Amino acid sequence: MTDFWKVIGSSPMRDASEIESALEEISRKLSAMTPTVLTRFVELLRESLYRIDRRNLAEVPVVLAPGLKLPQTSDHFLYARCACILAGEEAYNDVLSSGVGFDRFVAPFAQEAEGLLYLASEQYERKTGSKMNVESDFSIESMSNVQGWAD
């Protein structure tokens, strides 16, 4: 089994070009994987997204300009979590343990990290000719149930 975080690597996440480069590198690594390993990668991605699905992170505002802040939408929050994962294991664990630093993943350019959601399934479809079907406790659809939101 390929280590999830070795596939992800790390990116400074300073602009959209760094996100694009990170996604290209991950896609290259995924292209060498078997359909079974690609499915496991998606399961681990979903679990990682779920683990940082927290109210305090969802409430970090999007800053469009000095003095102009907007709340995140559910899609924006999902893509911000993808950006956090693209930043690498250390950045992810820092956010997971303290919530500190998540604001940089809410930046509008970080929305390009959405592509992470589709890389493994695209490679799977290329290899098998069929769509990936992942049975998981951590589905994308259930991610609007942010941990701790009922508090």
Instruction: Write down the pLDDT at residue 65.
Output: 87
Instruction: Write down the pLDDT at residue 52.
Output: 96
Strand partners, 54: 147
First to last CA, the chain: 38
> pLDDT tens across 9-60, in order?
999 999 999 999 999 999 999 999 999 999 999 999 999 999 999 999 999 9
Instruction: Write down the pLDDT at residue 144.
Output: 44
- Cα separation, 115 vs 119, in Å, equals 7
- Cα separation, 37 vs 41, in Å, equals 6
CA angle 48, 50, 54 (to 5 degrees): 120
Q: pLDDT category, 138, cuts 50, 70, 90?
A: low
Instruction: Write down the pLDDT at residue 107.
Output: 95
Question: Which residue type does 149 have?
Answer: W
- Cα separation, 44 vs 47, in Å, equals 5
Nearest to 56 by CA among 107, 110, 103: 103
> pLDDT tens across 53-110, in order?
999 999 999 999 888 999 999 999 999 999 999 999 999 999 999 989 999 999 999 9
What are the sequence ranges of the domains in the chain? 10-132
User: The dihedral of CA 110, 102, 25, 3: what is its sign?
Assistant: negative
63: phi then psi, degrees, rounded to nearest 5: -100, 110
Instruction: Write down the pLDDT at residue 151.
Output: 30
**Contact in structure between 24 and 113 (CB atoms under 8 Å):** no
CA angle 129, 34, 11 (to 5 degrees): 105
Nearest to 29 by CA among 61, 2, 51: 2
